[in-house]
Amino acid sequence: MKRRWEEEIARRYRRLFPPSSASRNAAAEMEANSAAAAAGGGERAVERKPGGWKTMPYIIGNETFERVASFGMTTNLTVYLVKRYHMGTVAAANLTNIWNGTTNFAPLLGAFVSDAYWGKFNTLVFACVATFLVRRLAFHTPVRRHQGGRGLV
């Protein structure tokens, strides 16, 4: 027996992604075969072939380029903090490590929130809006100029 939240998720999924005619026909055929087999007709249910690894090269490529971009951004962020904000190299490296830790931990937090509370679509919408707002805020934040030998306080 399904729980109420499982039924609600299934209902939302069906509303957002209505089945195509091919999948409806396949589902109806599988139900008919199962009913016939249960009734003693002896017919076997249609077995579906798995989709295989067709999309795996794209996923591996995406993750590879994401890692390369992340490493490049880390180096550029450290140089930017030292040159533009006049931070010490140790402070810039510490801030860059905190940034990397936060960005690598955020997907785990998002997955937990998505699975436990909001669902994947609400979490995705919230994350997109939050990203947009944070980037707008960061874009409009004024940068204080270097004053003397200490840099920004």
Which residues form the domain of 82?
56-139
- The answer to whether position 147 is within a domain reads no
Query: How many domains does the chain divide into?
Result: 2
Average pLDDT, stretch 22-35?
Answer: 61
Highest mean pLDDT among 4-13, 47-56, 123-132, 133-142: 123-132
Considering the domain architecture, whether residues 72 and 134 belong to the same structural domain is answered as yes
Considering the domain architecture, whether residues 92 and 26 belong to the same structural domain is answered as no
Considering the domain architecture, whether residues 69 and 131 belong to the same structural domain is answered as yes
Average pLDDT, stretch 60-64?
Answer: 85
3-state secondary structure string across the chain = CCCHHHHHHHHHHHHHCCCCHHHHHHHHHHHHHHHHHHCCCCCCCCCCCCCCCCCHHHHHHHHHHHHHHHHHHHHHHHHHHHHCCCCCHHHHHHHHHHHHHHHHHHHHHHHHHHHHHHCHHHHHHHHHHHHHHHHHHHHCCCCCCCCCCCCCC
What is the pLDDT at residue 150? 53
Residue 120 has pLDDT above 90, yes or no: no
- The answer to whether position 115 is within a domain reads yes
pTM score: 0.47
Considering the domain architecture, whether residues 28 and 93 belong to the same structural domain is answered as no
Considering the domain architecture, whether residues 33 and 60 belong to the same structural domain is answered as no
What is the pLDDT at residue 107? 85
What is the pLDDT at residue 148? 55
Considering the domain architecture, whether residues 79 and 131 belong to the same structural domain is answered as yes
What is the pLDDT at residue 97? 93
Considering the domain architecture, whether residues 134 and 89 belong to the same structural domain is answered as yes
What is the pLDDT at residue 48? 59
Considering the domain architecture, whether residues 34 and 65 belong to the same structural domain is answered as no
Considering the domain architecture, whether residues 60 and 135 belong to the same structural domain is answered as yes
Considering the domain architecture, whether residues 100 and 131 belong to the same structural domain is answered as yes
Average pLDDT, stretch 84-102?
Answer: 92
Highest mean pLDDT among 11-15, 45-49, 51-55, 65-69: 65-69
Highest mean pLDDT among 47-51, 79-83, 116-120, 136-140: 79-83
Considering the domain architecture, whether residues 28 and 62 belong to the same structural domain is answered as no
What is the pLDDT at residue 98? 93
